Amino acid sequence: MTRAGLIRLGLIVALLVALEVLVKIGRIDALTMQAPHKMALDLFTMLKSGKLNKAIAKTMGNAGFAFVIAVSLGVLAGLVIHRLRRLRETLDPLFATYYAIPVFAFYPLLILLLGLGDAPQIFIGVMLGFVAVVVNTLNGLDRVPRVLLKTARVNGMNPLETALKITLPSAAPYILTGAKFAVAYSLIGVIGAEFIMSTGGMGYEISFAYNNFDNATMYPLIILILAVSITINMVISHWEKSLLKRRGLQ
Amino acid sequence: MSASTRRLFANMGWLTLAILVLWQGLYALIGDIALRSPVSTLQFTAKFITTPQFVTHLTETLKAFVLALLIAVTSGLAIGFLLGLKRFASEIFEPFLIAIYSVPKITLYPILLLIFGLGLSAKVAFGAIHGIVPIALFTLNAVRNVKPVLLKTSRVMGLSTGATIRTVIFPSALPEIFAGIRIGFSLTLIGTLLGEMFASQRGLGFLLMNAIGLHNVDVIVMLTFLLTGFAGMAGIVLLLINRRITAQV
């Protein structure tokens, strides 16, 4: 581990110890924040008892579903838009300002349209993640070396073969950047929607626990979500870096 | 007006037209049960935005948003400059910033509510944490990537650290810093609204949630239209400013 990494680890440990002490001596009252060791214990008992497994499975399943749709539709749309110059120019202002739009404002409309099931939550997750994937796919396709495209033409590949064997693998690191955003956005979309209005899932359970001052349920769930999203993000980052390194780009 | 700006406006016109056609088409498909037509939404909006009820909620949201944005910009810039100028410190703290950036921050809102209590400060804090991280990350990168020759020149000229930051680093990093502020602006707005939607008694987010509870389609469609329109317009204005700054450097 590098020196910076060691210091980082030390800081995290120091922060946890400080929190533990502050809660212990009552500077932070237990209704606001729990001691870190208690959060870890609560998480363990919660997972062992399995009483929230249904909520966890629902949220993670929906987020995973939204992620898969956002990435596959996003890459497909990126491939199509890349070929149509006029369409791309028209859509450019939309892409540039898309993330200024509060997508959650559409949630009520989606509930009216699709009902209060899983569908509007998945839809919000897809709406958030899709554009990030499209933008990054376009960015990656712009950077495909021309010599590769020429090689494809010389070998007489059809558009499908070119996409599968040349352009997509070449753009892969950039598509992975988009996928990283899609992970975060699908989780944000699904959990945010559950927070606002839903009948189940981790977001719902957190807000239910919050309303009942049930910190023994709330904190472990929050930690679980944070841990899952950071872990997935680190795995994709690692993959992205190793792809770039193999090409001598980083 | 430059050719590229004119093209941007032309594209925006087409885009607006396409969205209106889509909206009208969707309305024809769904009908009054869950949607309103563009024309009746505009009529309702014109009537509603003059009511005192709307003005109170709008002021509340604007107050929270402006405060959150101020906090996000000042602390984002401060963090970005501090870490951008100190290589080792940025090595330690940058992964933290990236981790916070990628985490679904909505899960942290209950914690903020417990710390700040229900009210304006929790909303402001929630909006601000959405904005701080992108502004800090963009500023950090911009400051770190200032051309070494510029820094050498300022050293040769014997500029103090303060003068170097003011006259060399800040101007040359400005385009990228502004790009960060643009993203921070959007995320802060989303954060503030989200905070109001989840737990609040005032503001446009609360108004939206209230309308869902009452199944008031007029208000739901109007607020969605207003918020999207405002965010889109602000986004375009910031994009134009960003382009002008980039062209100047």
> For the segment B177-235, what is each residue's pLDDT rounded down to a tens digit?
998 998 899 889 989 988 888 777 889 989 988 888 888 888 888 998 898 888 888 88
Q: Is A33 left (phi over 0), alpha (psi -120 to 50) or beta?
A: beta
- Can you say whether the dihedral through the CA atoms of B13, B14, B19, B24 is positive or negative? positive
For testing the chain B interface, which of A11, A186, A188 should be mutated: the one with the most B CBs within 10 Å?
Answer: A188
Q: Check if B189 contacts A (Cβ < 8 Å).
A: yes
The string of pLDDT tens digits covering residues B134-175 is 999 999 999 988 888 988 999 899 888 888 888 889 888 999
* Residue B76 pLDDT: 95
pLDDT at A22 over 90: no
Whole-angstrom Cα distance, residue B68 to residue B132? Answer: 9
Contacts of B236 (CB under 8 A, 6+ apart): A93, A96, A97, B8, B12
Using DSSP, state whether B73 is helix, strand or coil: helix
* Residue A249 pLDDT: 63
What is the mean predicted confidence (pLDDT) over A146-169? 87
* Residue A116 pLDDT: 80
Is CATH 3.40.1080.10 the classification given to domain B54-248? no
Supply angle C-alpha A108, A112, A116, rounded to 5: 85
Nearest-CB residue to A195 (from B91, B106, B235) = B106
The string of pLDDT tens digits covering residues B116-126 is 888 889 999 99
Query: Is the Cβ pair B102, A180 closer than 8 Å?
Result: yes
Ranked by mean pLDDT, which of A63-72, B21-30, B92-101, B157-166 comes out on top?
A63-72
Whole-angstrom Cα distance, residue B108 to residue B209? Answer: 20
Kindly provide the ipTM of the predicted complex, given to two decimals.
Answer: 0.80
Output the average pLDDT for chain A.
87
* Residue A93 pLDDT: 79
User: DSSP states of B119-170 as a string?
Assistant: SHHHHHHHHHHHHHHHHHHHHHHHHHTS-HHHHHHHHHTT--HHHHIIIIIH
3-state helix, strand, coil in chain B (%, to 5): 85, 0, 15
Percent residues over pLDDT 90 in chain B: 30
pLDDT tier for residue B1 given thresholds of 50, 70 and 90: low
Minimal C-alpha gap between B71 and chain A (Å):
18
For testing the chain A interface, which of B86, B107, B209 should be mutated: the one with the most A CBs within 10 Å?
Answer: B107
pLDDT at A226 over 60: yes
Q: Where are the domains of chain A?
A: 1-33, 34-246
Q: Where are the domains of chain B?
A: 54-248
Neighbours of A124 (CB within 10 A): 26
Query: Is the Cβ pair A2, B91 closer than 8 Å?
Result: yes
Residue A158 corresponds to which tokens in the numbers above?
């059809």
DSSP assignment letter at B106: G
Nearest-CB residue to B235 (from A7, A97, A196) = A97
Q: Check if B163 contacts A (Cβ < 8 Å).
A: no
Q: Check if A30 contacts B (Cβ < 8 Å).
A: no
Which architecture does CATH list for A34-246? Orthogonal Bundle (1.10)
Contacts of B146 (CB under 8 A, 6+ apart): B168, B169, B172, B173
The string of pLDDT tens digits covering residues A207-218 is 888 888 888 888
Query: Is the Cβ pair A31, B96 closer than 8 Å?
Result: no
Which residues of chain B does A221 touch, with a Cβ-Cβ cutoff of 8 Å?
A: 107
Nearest-CB residue to B235 (from A100, A183, A233) = A100
